Every structure is written in structure tokens, then in C-alpha cells.
Amino acid sequence: MKKSFCISLITACLFASSFGWAETAIVIHPENQNTLSIEDIKRIFLGKKKSYPDGTKAIPIDQKEGSAPRTAFTFVILNKSDQQMRAYWAQQLFTGKGTPPKDFRNNTDVKKLVSTNPSLIGYIDSKAVDDSVKVIHTF
Amino acid sequence: MKHFTIAALTLATSMGATHAQAEVRFNGFASIVAGMNVEDKKFRNSPYDEDLSFKPESKFALQATADLGNGLSAIAQVIARGEENFDAEFEWAYLKYEFSEHHSLRAGRLRLPFYKYSDYLDVGYAYPWLRTPKAMYRLLFSTYDGISLISQFTLGEIDVTSNFLFGSTTDTFFSTTAPVDGTLKNWRAVNVQLSKDWWNAYIAYFGTEVDIPHAATEAAAGNLEASAIAIDASYVGVGNNIKLDEDYGDFFGLGFTLEPGNWFVGAEWSTISIEDTLYLDSSQWYLSVGHRFDSLMPYITYQQTDTDRNTSTAQLFPAPVQATVQTIYDGLQFEYKAVTLGLRYDFHPRATLKIEYNMFHDIIDLNQATRLGTATSPEDLDMLAVGVDLLF
């Protein structure tokens, strides 16, 4: 009883720290005027959609696997587990259909890259958001 | 800060419109599998005998993807299989040109997309099982040399991917019974896949001219034709109904995969036939169900393959020869059912451990080279395998 309580408490904390308390923002370049649905975002990150509605090139960038924003993004937006995503990219990669988004170390790197390239789309901790990027969705 | 600049530069180079030089990416995968038959029997669809062996299903592969910019890329995959003494072979080697957001053309050595998992047949990490269900995944050749046009578009909210291909396969056929070099000419095929969040489905049709000078078949055709001519000279050429001489062969398959929540349900069905030849048309299917519990995924699969009795070819021969022809055709019967229990354990981000217990039932293989079981006394056989699949 005690043990299972401890485990559920740990799980709850892990869950909360990953998804509950830290809000994540999906960000694009401030000059990027496109409106994107969750479905569009998902398709861009799965490599199924390679351009924005206005026809310009869309390039998704990830954070490192295991980071809080990446875990939240994979779970909430892509609706997949890390393992499912690895299997998905293995399928794409070894059939020449696509390569996974490049991943970057932290919120700062992702924010800086997005702020300098109108093609990029990324996600960062909401607390890291400033005027250099435009938030299109938070979760 | 310096780190960031380097990262930004890399990104700018690799993602910008101009490519001073190709970006080459290396990836690999491997499977190390040990297995054995639980009894002292050999069966055509088990790569093992009663001794534990690491060789038949282990493999190492390395893939190089060179992005040449402006939609052009070159991809080569070299694979070393235990069953081939780990001699490295090019499994894929092709150029790909994405000439629009929705279309890409590939040319070179490519995979024949018969099945749901054809494209990553060797990448064990990418599917739940230790191996794809053998009753369905029964064709022993998997590549062709030629071209392929892949188109991706959406119908409402459904993703549609079509693959039209043309080419030929030169390989060693009947490798489990009587190996012989042959050619499958003029492949023309289409595979259409539909997918949405938690489901996908496909339908595939392949046609080819089968040209395999299989010694036993040629001999049987020659002898039977001679017997027929001895009775009536007008039977000249009747042996061509038995030879594998550019006869039309086709494959029709379909399947679906559902992944609602932590469930996995997959099923595929196919038929294979070759006209005017010593071959029995077959149909095969499987249904597999699994459930993910964090890093563990137990699964169960039922599979079955059946051959159709051919009585029409014998009718083409004069009456006294018909019984012999019928006996030869009936001797090709190959059927079995199997239940597979397995467990996948994702113990590492880049590696997964799998254990699978296969129970083959009602085996009827009347082929002389691989004979096991008869219609009146079919055989059973259990097979065990443990493997690790890696991605790197």
C-alpha cells in the first residue's frame, strides 16, 4: 500500500513536471503570417507536410529526446510515445521517405534559430518566450 | 554561444537553398536472433533445426543517405545476413528525385512493396514482432531493379500514398527447395496506402512474367510432353503449360493496422498465382493483436496459408497421362496454420528485446525436398527464438 502510494506519487510528480506545470509554446518566426491547425503542426513534424499554407518551406526542429518540452510535444501534440516515434522515424529513414527533424539542446537554441529563419517551427517552454518569436499554440 | 553559432551555421547550410556539398547521413540497424526448433524436425518455414543457432535471422545493415540538394538524394543500404554468411550485399541503392512536394521518382535497386512491412522488412525495431508473419511474408525475394513513382496527397483528412513501379528481379529462386537462377520480368505494380492518426490500410497488385528454368519442372514438362506426343502427335508443346517460361504471375494483397491507444491490431491477406505452370495458387493471411504496457508489449498472432488444388492442367493432356500430371500437381500442396506468442521489451531507447514462441499446426508439405506431414497425418512443430533489434 505504502509502496504503491510512493510510486504513484513519483509518477504524479513526473507527469506534472512534464505536462502539468510547465506550459509549452509552439513558436514560429514573427514574420510568418501563416495560421496552422494542430493537424498542420502534427503533419509538419511527421514530415508529411513540407510547406506552410502560403507555399513557403516549413522546417520543424525538435528539442533533445528526454527533455520536458520534447516529451510533452510528443505526447500531447503528436499523440505518440517516444518509442512509437523512434519506430516511425526508423521506418521513414530506412525506406528513404524522410529524416527526423534535427534536434537542439534547449529552449534558448530553438528560440534563437526560429527567430532568425522564417521557415522554422519549434517548441519551447512558455517561460522562455519573448518578442523574438511568435507563439501559435500553447499546451 | 559559440556552440549556438556552429549549430546555426550547420542548420543554415543544411536547410538553406544552396548546397555547396552533399550532406551525408549514416544510419544503421541490426538484429541478433537466436532460435531453434523444439523438436528434431525440419520445416520449410522455420529457418532452424533442433540445435540453437544465431545465424539464420541475424543481420547488420548500414545506410548512407546523401542529400544532394534541390530534391535530389542518393540512398544505399548494405546488409550482411547470417543466412548468407554475413556477406554484405546492396539491398537498396537508388537515386531519389523529389520533383514536387507531392511526387518523387526513384530509380535503382528498390524494395518490392508487397506487404505492409515490405519497406522495412529487415528493421526489426520498426515492428512489434521478432519477425514478420512467415505465412504472409512468404515470397523469398524482396527487391527489384527499376523505377518507382511515389505520390503523396490527402483526401479529406486521410493521407494517401501511392507507389507505381516498373522493373525486374534477377535472383536465386526456390532457395528452400531447389535453388535456381531466374528472372521476374516486367514488374508492373501499384501499392496504395491510406492512413490517419491511429489506422492505416493498403491494397497492392503486382504482375510479372516469371522465367525460372527450374530443373525438376523442365524435366517433368519434357517427360510428360513426350508421353503425350507418343499417344497423339498433336500434343506438341503441351509441356509449356508446366514450364516456368515467361508465364504471367500476379500478387494481390491488402491489409490494415489499427493502433488505438495502447492496442495494436494488424491483419494482412494475399493471393499469389502463376498461369500455365507447375505451381499451385495460394492464399495466406494473419491477424495479430498486441497491447503496450509501458516498455512491455505482449502479442499473439494467428496465421495460415493454403494452396488451391489444380485440376485443369491435367485436362490438357491425353487421358492416359492425366493421372500422372494430377499426381505431380497434388504433390505441391503446402499448407499450415500457426499461433505465435511473443513479447517485446523496450529496455533501451535504441534497442528492443523480443522473445517469440511459434506453434505450427496441421503442416502439410508434400514437396519432395521439404516433405513434412500429409493430408491424413499433418505434422505440428514448435519453434522458439529470442532476439535483440538495434538502431544506430
Closest by Cα among B310, B313, B385 to B354: B385
CA distance A57 to chain B (A): 10
Q: Å from A129 to nearest chain B CA?
A: 18
Residues 6+ apart with CB under 8 A from B27: A93, A94, B62, B63, B65, B391, B392
Note whether B157 contacts A93, CB cutoff 8 Å. no
Tell me which of B1, B2, B3, B4 to substitute to probe the interface with A (most A C-beta atoms closer than 10 Å).
Answer: B4
Find the CB nearest A96 among B96, B157, B349: B96
Chain A residues close to B126, C-beta within 8 Å: 87, 90-91, 94
Instruction: Give per-residue pLDDT as tens, A20-33.
Output: 568 999 999 999 99
Q: Do A51 and B11 touch (CB under 8 A)?
A: no
pLDDT on residue A48: 86
d(CA B366, CA B126): 35
- Average pLDDT across each block of 10 residues of chain B; the chain has 392 residues. List them in order: 43 45 87 96 92 96 91 93 92 92 93 92 93 92 95 90 96 83 96 93 97 90 94 94 93 96 95 94 97 95 96 94 94 96 95 97 91 93 97 90
Residues A113, B11: C-beta atoms closer than 8 Å = yes
A100: DSSP letter: P
- The CA distance from A23 to the nearest CA of chain B, in Å, is 24
Average pLDDT over every residue of A109-116: 95
CA atoms lying within 13 Å on the CB side of residue A56: 16
How confident is the prediction for chain A on average, in pLDDT?
A: 85
Q: What is the ipTM of this complex?
A: 0.75
Distance from CA of A10 to the nearest CA of B (A): 16
User: Choosing among A94, A103, A107, A115, which should be mutated to test the B contact, i.e. which has the most B CBs within 10 A?
Assistant: A94
**CB contact (8 A) between residue A112 and residue B8:** yes
**Vertex A70, ends B98 and A127: CA angle to 5°?**
120
Q: What is the 3-state secondary structure (H, E, C) of B90-155?
A: EEEEEEEEECCCCEEEEEEEEECCCCCCHHHCCCHHHCCCCCCCCCCCCCCCCEEEEEEEEEEEEE
Of the partner residues A94, A108, A116, the one whose CB lies closest to the CB of residue B123 = A94
**pLDDT value of residue B2:** 40
Taking a C-beta distance cutoff of 8 angstroms, is the pair B145, B182 a contact?
Answer: no
Residue B26's CB is within 10 A of a number of other CB atoms, namely 9
Determine whether the interchain pair A119/B7 forms a contact, defined as Cβ–Cβ distance below 8 Å: no
For chains A and B, count residue pairs whose Cβ atoms are closer than 8 Å.
75
Residue of chain A whose Cα is closest to the Cα of B15 = A59
pLDDT at position B216 is 86
Nearest to A90 among B7, B12, B29 (CB): B29
Closest residue of chain A to B127, computed from CA coordinates: A87
Q: Is the pLDDT of residue A103 over 70?
A: yes
Residue A80's pLDDT is: 86
User: Average pLDDT of A47-69?
Assistant: 92
User: Nearest-CA residue of chain A relative to B152?
Assistant: A48
Residue numbers in A near B29 (CB within 8 A) = 90, 94
Contact list, B8 vs chain A (CB under 8 Å): 112-113, 116
pLDDT band at A1 (very low <50, low <70, confident <90, very high): very low
Query: Is A59's pLDDT higher than 80?
Result: yes
